[in-house]
Amino acid sequence: MSASNQQQQPPLHQRVGVLDPVFRTREHMRRTIRALGHAPLVFEDLQELLFMPAASLRCSAMCIGLPRRRADLTKWISGARNAVGPGVPLLFLTRENLLKPLQSLGCDERDLMVAAPSSFSDVYVGLEGCMTRHALPPTGPGLTWGDYRFMPSLKTVLVEGDEIRLSPLEFELALEFFHNIDQVLTRQWLTGMAAGLAPSASGRWLNACIARLREKLHLGGARGCEWRLIHIRGQGYKLSRSGPVVAKKGRRY
């Protein structure tokens, strides 16, 4: 590996591990870790984690979504703990409304738990709190796209200084679009990533929710906004930049 490539690689101590069998929460954790300026190291199954060389598992924290089967709980947690080392704090995402004592999960005072994380915001706030507690300050740009700055703890978007309040469901869908700029997101994808917040599994609510997003965040191409959220018949929805805009004084694009 060349010296220039070595310089581009994130330091190992900035890695944050993820072990979770559920795709949706794995993606939420991956995006959160990147937004906070760290490098995600993501595993779907414990065996994938255990096969990694020890030198590659020097993580500053480890996020764990509990296994699908309760019978695997002890093996799942002890295996992850042994793989990353006893000094690495664990963040548990239980996906249940059962506030078990951390001790029952084999945890110590360094660990934290986020109960029933149903959204990206839950994961973001939980991991941010874990990092703050263990002196791992964010080093990344946060959740910012152009003039849009997303505030997960408040379900708020700041647009050129104006605060726009969104419902938890609207906030979740807005982030899906901004995380996937210029990509067509199917109705199935959007309803799946919004699971736990949606009023029903049918997806009938989706059109109305997206219409509200267009209006609240000015994504219809009006008012000079460069972002457009469009419906692509038979495929889904896509957020894209409509083209270069005239730079405002004091701003760069």
For range 153-157, the mean pLDDT: 88
Best CA proximity match to 32, nearest among 146, 163, 135, 122: 122
Residues 31/24, Cβ–Cβ less than 8 Å: no
196-212 confidence digits (pLDDT tens): 787 776 768 898 999 99
Confidence of residue 37 (pLDDT cuts 50, 70, 90): confident
Q: What is the pTM of this model?
A: 0.79
Note the pLDDT tens digit of each residue in 164-190.
999 999 999 999 999 999 999 999 999
Asked if 46 contacts 73 with a C-beta cutoff of 8 angstroms, the reply is no
Residue 95: the pLDDT is 65
CA distance linking residue 43 with residue 34, whole number of Å: 16
pLDDT over threshold 60, residue 11: no
Q: With 80 as the cut, is the pLDDT of residue 233 above it?
A: yes
Burial grade of 58 (CB within 10 A; 0-12, 13-18, 19 or more): middle
Q: Give Cα 158 to chain centroid, integer Å.
A: 19
Q: How far apart are alpha carbons 211 and 197 in whole angstroms?
A: 17
> The sheet that has 148-151: what strands, in order across it?
144-145, 148-151, 156-159, 162-165
Predicted confidence band at 250 (pLDDT cuts at 50, 70, 90)? very low
247 has a pLDDT exceeding 80:
no
SS (H, E, C) 169-217: HHHHHHHHHHHCCCCEECHHHHHHHCCCCCCCCCCCCHHHHHHHHHHHC
- Predicted pLDDT at 161: 81
pLDDT band at 45 (very low <50, low <70, confident <90, very high): very high
Which has more confidence, 221 or 100? 221
Q: Are 238 and 182 in contact (CB under 8 A)?
A: yes
Average pLDDT over residues 12-31: 86
Q: Tell me if 89 sits within 8 A of 126, measured CB to CB.
A: no
**Is pLDDT above 90 for 118?**
no
pLDDT at 223: 56
Cα 16 to Cα 10, 31, 116, 143, 240, distances in angstroms: 11, 11, 21, 18, 30
- 47 vs 214: CA distance, rounded Å: 43
